[in-house]
Amino acid sequence: MADTGGLQIEFEGHPTLLKWHRLRRRMADPLFSADVMAEGFAAGASMELDLRVRADGGFVVLHDEELEGETTGHGLIAQTGLADLRNARMKEGNRPLLFSEDLAAMLQSAHPDALLQFDMKDDYAAIGEKGIAHLAEHLQQISASVIVSAGSLELILAVKQKLPHLRRGIDPTDKLGDLCKAEGWKAVEKELLADLRGPTEPETIYLYWPMLLNAAKAGLDMIALCHSEGKKVDAWTFTLKDPDGGFSDAEGENFAALISLRPDQVTTDEAPATERAWLKRMAG
């Protein structure tokens, strides 16, 4: 039987999911692994992948804007069509690239508890109506297992209008970070509240974990604020430097402080190791 560890941890009765970042259960896994995704679907894991829009309006599972970083291809992904992308390979393991059409087929076999986050790396200007229509065509029947997220509120609003049944998330981290530097935490609180109550109607808010701790030290519990508006919070991305050794002293203190704020989910590249380290810490 496959190891299904690294799904969630618990603190004072509150469960926190451990989300597998970029389809990695552990950092040793290859980036955006279809095999790991299949394991996660079978186990009921929460997982995340990045999507970049192709020239034809469909999507490819990649993080970077250009092909050179993660694949054997060349050029801007947004200017590359499906046929050329099929000729490229992932640098890790010489694997074929994953496309939105593949995801739609794989999602049909997902465990009822499995959740796959489509983190859209392009904004609405790049994706446009053609890309939204592509999502609508391929995700019409599988909404329960997918949440679409983006930093672009305009994009998420377009998803809501075209695919109202899809779960939605927003990531205002960059905007709130800039606002904090310019105007302080009170301005952050006001802006976050506006986003929570805004027209995108997000289910989940994705926030950088050090920001959450810094805000809490300043007297602003961003997670509690989100919960008060009926929203979930994903704290990203907490990854142990030494998965075999467990938490360093600083990591243990930071993670305990984060979990005490009761996030609904923590994004990590080392889910089983994080679970082991947490259980060890709780055991004293």
Model pTM score? 0.95
pLDDT above 90 (res 78):
yes
pLDDT tens for each residue of 202-229: 999 999 999 999 999 999 999 999 999 9
Cβ–Cβ under 8 Å, residues 142 and 73: no
Which candidate, 282, 265, 274, places its Cα nearest to that of 116?
Answer: 265
For residues 2, 235, 275, 22, the Cα torsion angle rounded to the nearest 10 degrees is 30
pLDDT (0 to 100) of residue 50: 98
Q: How far apart are CA 31 and CA 27, in angstroms?
A: 8
Cβ–Cβ under 8 Å, residues 135 and 100: yes
Angle, nearest 10°, between helix axes 249-260 and 271-282?
90
pLDDT tens for each residue of 110-136: 888 899 999 999 999 999 999 999 998
* Beta carbons within 10 angstroms of residue 239's beta carbon: 19
pLDDT (0 to 100) of residue 109: 76
pLDDT (0 to 100) of residue 55: 97
What is the pLDDT confidence band of residue 2, given thresholds at 50, 70 and 90? very low
How much is the mean pLDDT over the chain? 94
Domain 15-170 has CATH 3.20.20.190: yes
pLDDT (0 to 100) of residue 1: 31
Query: Which of 60-64, 70-74, 100-104, 181-185 shows the lowest per-residue confidence on average (mean pLDDT)?
Result: 100-104
Domain ranges of the chain: 15-170, 171-284
Give the pLDDT mean for 220-242. Answer: 98
Main-chain phi, psi angles of 12, to 5 degrees: 50, 45
Q: Which residues contact 284 (CB under 8 A, 6 or more apart)?
A: none
pLDDT (0 to 100) of residue 221: 98
Tokens 């469909």 belong to which residue? 58
